[in-house]
Chains A and B, each alone.
Chain A
Amino acid sequence: MNGFLMAVVGFFAAVIGSMGLGGGGILLLYISAFTDIPQLKAQGINLIFFLPIGAVSLFFHIKNRLVDKKAALLTVLTAVPTAVLGAFLASAVSQDLLRKGLAVFLFFLGARELIGSFKKKRRL
């Protein structure tokens, strides 16, 4: 991928990622689909990319008073050790069936969000 394309892709991936829309994996989707970069390296690029992007976004989100700091602290507290645990387990267990299960779950989650956006509610 040439430098210009990387710049464009990085820009848009960051916009989506900073809005919490990509679940931190939006660049990976693009790299996997449009380049020959091997999967593991692509995942690594996606992860490292999100570090400065997430930091910049978070800075502005906090400035805009959109972050619930207490909620963030509590979730991060348990998220970090379980992420480590998950990473270790990933190499020991077959992910295939579980991944398909997660995909199905996420599909319905997305559908719920999408359908919910069309409904008139007191509080969205």
Chain B
Amino acid sequence: MQTGNKRKKLFLLMTGALCGFLNGFFGAGGGTVAVPMLRKSGLGEKEAHATSVAVILAVTAVSATFYLIRGSVAISDTLGYIYTGVFGAALGAYVLKKISVVWLKRIFGALIMAASVRMFLR
């Protein structure tokens, strides 16, 4: 998207609105849709993936708050995953920096297709 800064800003606002709504309503899908939409707004593939993490983090914080308030889950339930997860996060960031764009698209595409099939069959 090259034309007009205003148009780009509007598109990004729309992207956020759609992704936020998808995540709030379905509990999923927002982060996935964010990547191609961010690409369309002019970001490179890696930048789209990295920036989508920011969006996912924001909407996740919103949803997580609801879950904690309702008592559906306790933080202690998650610690077993998080101890090593933080190292995985650092590694993932390194991999994103190094991976080729071709493989990034390939893996992303395959993972979404698999997840969508599962979502359909739920």
**A residues whose Cβ falls under 8 Å from a Cβ of B:** 1, 3, 6-25, 27-29, 40-41, 43-45, 47-61, 64, 66-68, 71-72, 74-90, 95, 98-100, 102-107, 109-118, 124
Contacts and interface: CB of A to CB of B under 8 A. Distances in A.
B37 to A, nearest CB: 8
Given A18-B88, A78-B16, A103-B117, A58 B57 contact: yes
Contacts of B86: 14, 52-53, 56
Q: DSSP majority for the A interface?
A: helix
Contacts of A43: 27, 67, 72-73
A12 B53 CA distance: 16
16 contacts: A11-B85, A20-B31, A22-B115, A23-B56, A24-B56, A27-B81, A58-B53, A78-B13, A80-B20, A84-B62, A87-B24, A87-B66, A103-B119, A113-B36, A113-B109, A117-B106
A107 B90 contact: no
Contacts, number: 368
Interface in B90-109: 90-97, 99, 101-109
Given A61-B50, A103-B116, A68 B66 contact: no
Given A25-B115, A75-B51, 16 more contacts: A7-B84, A16-B111, A23-B31, A54-B89, A66-B47, A71-B51, A74-B16, A75-B19, A75-B55, A79-B16, A79-B30, A80-B20, A106-B119, A107-B120, A110-B109, A114-B106
